[in-house]
Amino acid sequence: MADYGYYKRTRGLFDPLRHGLGHALPKEPFRLSRSKIDLFWECPRCFYLDRRLGVPRPSLPGFTLNIAVDHLLKKEFDTHRAKGDPHPLMTEYKIDAVPFAHKKLDVWRNNFKGVERLHTPTNFLVFGAIDDVWVNPKGELHVVDYKATSKAEKPDLEGFWQQVYKRQMEVYQWLMRGNGFEVSDTGYFVYVNGRKDAEAFDGKLEFDVDIIPYTGDDGWVERTLLDAQKALEADVIPEAGQHCEYCPYRQYAGESIRETLAVHTRGEKQHKQKKGGQKETPF
């Protein structure tokens, strides 16, 4: 039988005695990633199962092409960062800014470190890895996120995933503000769209690149962190999110398994009783 023990984690979980604020023991901050904040936003139950009970959602395949695009874009913008001049796309879109040079940029981009901010009211050490930061002449920072897709129409900020992207941007803005930076409400998505109209593949993909501005509002982040802390402190599993796809699957899969097992068990019991010449008891 396959070993599925790795689905049940024991490390990196929220422990009210270690991380909670309502106990007398010295508390250590609980690391909470940007993606887990969004998980709570989508489904408090899945968040609780993951961060408190150690049962995450099934993993998704890695988007390796997107990662390659991110890597190449970072190298391209880093060339202009070193020169202190704007990327041609920034000039094309009339963005009065240049790539921001900072000694911690590589740390901010690291998926396991990122930009960190301690949220004192919850004792959460919130972190998230950013793609890029630009700075305008007033010294304000613009958070920048790279996105890759492939569709016939021009990319926009509508649709389900785009709402996730917006919240992602706003958490990054909140993190940077918490590190003492003056951050503009305006962030930018550098959207790379794979073209499908080429006559042949010829071992290469061609892309159109657009920059989409977005005016963020990080006011929801503080409220969400407080709600997430309350959920983790409780010993009751929260309700499922309204649009969660995983919780209904768990529910109906569990019910179907129990019904099938019950039918099978009754059948085996009846078979044994018939074989043994015994009458079935009412209990």
Q: What angle do CA 34, 40, 46 make, to 5 degrees?
A: 120
Region 236-262 average pLDDT: 92
CA distances from 254 to 1, 3, 31, 56 (A): 20, 20, 32, 17
Whole-number pLDDT of residue 283? 37
pLDDT at 79 > cutoff 50: yes
Whole-number pLDDT of residue 144? 98
Mean of the per-residue pLDDT values of the chain: 90
Whole-number pLDDT of residue 281? 46
For 5-30, the pLDDT digits (tens) are: 456 788 889 998 888 776 655 578 99
Better-scored residue on pLDDT, 59 or 278:
59
CA distances from 64 to 67, 68, 71, 162, 205 (A): 5, 6, 10, 20, 14
pLDDT at 3 > cutoff 90: no
pLDDT at 272 > cutoff 80: no
pLDDT at 2 > cutoff 50: no
pLDDT at 202 > cutoff 90: no
For 126-184, the pLDDT digits (tens) are: 999 999 999 999 999 999 999 998 888 888 898 888 999 999 999 999 999 999 999 99
Contact 74, 131 (CB under 8 A): yes
pLDDT at 112 > cutoff 60: yes
